[in-house]
């Protein structure tokens, strides 16, 4: 009997210990810093609701845009996609272009074919074709040969002011990620997925390329950030934690505060627990 009671007690103590350990590893959610400019709001009717988004490698921009589209029914317009679609048509009278590589070669040789004014004119046509839609506009491309085009990546004040005289942009979202945060992400992924012997040099080269892309995109965004910041129309969200759910929760909270109605929830999740001790009780 004594052995049975002792064994039962040990099992109960073991269960309690496991529960304590599980509770101890449940870290509190990170604090997501959000800086909202004083003029961050939707343009009143009859203006179309237009939101620009700026975010480079590692910022989670793709996930953010997908959530905005799914939750609020926003329509994405990408400057990069506009260029890839319409540049071949623009030069069709003098040459035939059949691939992205051929577009890249053309832009490298004759960068003046792509200008910010031309892109914004096409963007205006998209918006005016569906004025009741809510648009999220990805202003800065990710392709390196476009980021190097000085006719596209430049002081944008004049072109944007002309564009906004017809299609005012409500505000811009900046997904803020510092180089230190990018370094931490790269180091974390490297240490948690060690490469086989002899692959270290390749990993370092990949990290170096990621950092160069980060710098290129940051430099490309500067003029746009200054433009929207100068009119207090910049919503800056700190994404350095990489915590996708808390970042989205903050973003969702902001947009619902603007009285934007949700179409449907994003990222529903079911959690199954084995026993009442598996998760701490919620007050």
- Which pLDDT score, from 0 to 100, does residue 179 have? 55
The more confident residue out of 11 and 102 is 102
Residue 188 pLDDT > 50:
no
Place of tokens 């974390």: 188
Place of tokens 């370094």: 183
Q: In what order do the strands lie in the sheet with 49-54?
A: 34-36, 234-238, 171-176, 49-54, 134-138, 75-78
Place of tokens 């170096």: 208
Strand intervals (E) in 133-232: 134-138, 171-176
- Which pLDDT score, from 0 to 100, does residue 190 have? 37
- Which pLDDT score, from 0 to 100, does residue 184 have? 54
Residue 102 pLDDT > 70:
yes
Taking the model in full, what pTM does it have?
0.77
Residue 263 confidence class, pLDDT cut points 50, 70, 90: confident
Query: What residues pair up with 53 in beta bridges, in sequence order?
Result: 138, 173
Strand intervals (E) in the chain: 34-36, 49-54, 75-78, 134-138, 171-176, 234-238
pLDDT tens-digit readout, 22-45? 555 556 778 899 999 999 999 988
Mean pLDDT for the stretch of residues 77-97: 94
In order of 85, 104, 143, the CA distances from 98 in angstroms are 11, 11, 18
Three-state secondary structure call for residue 137: strand
CA angle 45–229–163, rounded 5-degree value: 50
- Measured distance between the N- and C-terminal CA atoms of the chain, rounded to whole angstroms: 39
Residue 107 pLDDT > 60:
yes
Contact predicate 174/225, CB 8 Å: yes
- Which pLDDT score, from 0 to 100, does residue 62 have? 94
Closest CA to 171 of 17, 52, 21, 255: 52
Mean pLDDT for the stretch of residues 38-59: 94
- Which pLDDT score, from 0 to 100, does residue 143 have? 94
Residue 273 confidence class, pLDDT cut points 50, 70, 90: low
Number of Cβ atoms within 10 Å of the Cβ of 131: 12
Q: Which two tokens stand for residue 132?
A: 């009741």
Task: For the chain, give the mean pLDDT.
Answer: 83
| Domains defined along the chain, listed by start | 29-257 (3.40.50.300)
Residue 247 confidence class, pLDDT cut points 50, 70, 90: very high
């Amino acid at each position: 009997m004594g052995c049975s009671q002792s064994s039962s007690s040990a099992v109960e103590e073991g269960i309690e210990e496991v529960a304590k350990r599980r509770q101890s590893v449940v870290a509190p959610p990170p604090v997501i810093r959000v800086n909202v400019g004083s003029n961050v709001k939707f343009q009143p009717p009859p203006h179309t609701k237009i939101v620009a988004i700026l975010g480079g490698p590692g910022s989670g921009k793709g996930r953010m845009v997908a959530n905005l589209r799914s939750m609020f029914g926003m329509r994405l317009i990408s400057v990069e996609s506009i260029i890839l679609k319409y540049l071949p048509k623009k030069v069709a009278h003098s040459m035939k272009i059949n691939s992205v590589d051929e577009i890249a070669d053309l832009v490298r040789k004759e960068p003046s074919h792509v200008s910010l004014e031309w892109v914004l004119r096409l963007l205006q046509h998209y918006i005016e074709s569906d004025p009741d839609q809510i648009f999220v506009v990805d202003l800065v491309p990710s392709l390196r040969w476009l980021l190097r085009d000085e006719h596209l990546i430049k002081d944008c004040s004049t072109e944007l002011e002309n564009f906004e005289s017809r299609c005012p942009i409500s505000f811009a979202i900046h997904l803020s990620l510092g180089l230190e945060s990018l370094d931490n992400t790269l180091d974390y992924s490297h240490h948690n997925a060690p490469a086989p012997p002899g692959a270290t040099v390749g990993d370092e080269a990949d990290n170096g390329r990621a950092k160069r892309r980060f710098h290129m995109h940051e430099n490309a965004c500067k003029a746009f950030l200054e433009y929207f910041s100068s009119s207090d129309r910049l919503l800056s969200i700190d994404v350095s934690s990489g915590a996708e759910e808390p970042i989205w929760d903050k973003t969702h909270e902001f947009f619902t505060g603007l009285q934007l109605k949700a179409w449907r929830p994003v990222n529903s999740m079911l959690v199954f627990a084995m026993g009442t001790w598996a998760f701490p009780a919620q007050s």
